Structure 1
């Protein structure tokens, strides 16, 4: 009788083990799910199609002012858009005149900046809308793709402050500048970095 009970218990244990095996199943092999490379981890090419005649094929890099003027480029034009009525207007700058304005401003105010952007750079004075009359509502149109940003136009108009921090960090990254800190600090480095690209003798720090 005891032997029959033991055999019965053994059968129950075997059935229970079988049920567990059927329930749990075989763990999936990792080979069933092959890993694929992350496309974002691939290094970006060093060169890009030249976005503007005054820009090089390197990201966020301008030609020197001497080279730009040698191409008979004396003016630069881009677009402003109204934040209220969405109307657009082309704006043209004289390259040499506006560049000298920026350089003279830096020379006269740099000692008081303490590695921070001037208030006029952080909140640039913007023109009124020619259509709806909105005060200071016209802003430069900044390309969505960072490699297409018109850095020279923003520099000459002293409207780099209209860029967000991520866009300014992009410039500093590709110009090998320190890119941490407040927007005021990164904006300051962007102004000096662009001036140094246009005139390599200009101290960027």
Structure 2
């Protein structure tokens, strides 16, 4: 997967109010890659049962009050939210600490990958998403060892952090189905199918006008 070059400082207010999608303003290669026309899909999703509400207290500044939903990238940048943090733990030395990802840089990296490979994914997550390469531990320097600490309560999962780290594959199938349920996505099938929907769904939330239609 290609890594993008370092990005400039957060955009000024004028650039944030542009009607051009954020991902295209930052990386022209996305606009040059044609995307496959989206297909209408049957939607079996219903409202939460057992008296559960569609809304919950926002678990993070970048999350909305709707379950499994994050704010758009333009909204986050307008609020000067440029870094997304999450809790991780090393599998080797077992240190727990907070890690952060640059919002624009990581989103452009993911968006570019999707634009370049969407036509060959065939609605299935590629192996790099299914078996993500984990970050290197900052304490013991062990490569591929830092795993995200995913909340036991699914309404408190840090979805945006997992997306930007490209570690959504660390979620269980049940957790991914929860995301699809509450974002009105078809949620049956194997993990590679549901994981693909989670990646595309979160990117669509960040940039509704990007190349993320399924």
TM over 0.5: yes
Structure 2 residue runs of 5 or longer lacking an equivalent are 1-47
Write the mapping of 1:107-146 to structure 2, written as runs, cut at 5 A: 107-146=115-154
RCO greater where, 1 or 2, for CA within 8 Å and sep 6 or more? 2
Count how many residue pairs are aligned between Structure 1 and Structure 2.
166
Tell me what 1:73 maps to: 81
- Kindly report the root-mean-square deviation, in angstroms, between the aligned alpha carbons of the 2 structures: 1.6
1:155 maps to 2:147: no
Residue 41 (structure 1) shift = 5.8
Residue 118 (structure 1) shift = 1.1
What is the TM-score of this pair, normalised by structure 2? 0.73
Write the mapping of 1:80-91 to structure 2, written as runs, cut at 5 A: 80-91=88-99
The 2-side partners of 1:151 and 1:163 are apart by 10
The 1-side partners of 2:136 and 2:66 are apart by 35
The 1-side partners of 2:62 and 2:159 are apart by 10
Residue 133 (structure 1) shift = 4.8
Contact 1:80 1:141 in 2 (8 A): yes
Detail structure 1 runs of 4+ shifted over 6 Å in the superposition.
none
1:45 to 48, 53, 56: 53
Contact 1:78 1:92 in 2 (8 A): yes
The 2-side partners of 1:191 and 1:49 are apart by 23
Contact 1:61 1:175 in 2 (8 A): yes
Contact 1:81 1:138 in 2 (8 A): yes
Change (3 A) 1:69 1:41: closer
| Larger proportion of helix | 1
1:166 to 174, 177, 201: 174
1:179 maps to 2:187: yes
Structure (1 or 2) with the larger CA radius of gyration: 1
Change (3 A) 1:44 1:68: same
What is the TM-score of this pair, normalised by structure 1? 0.76
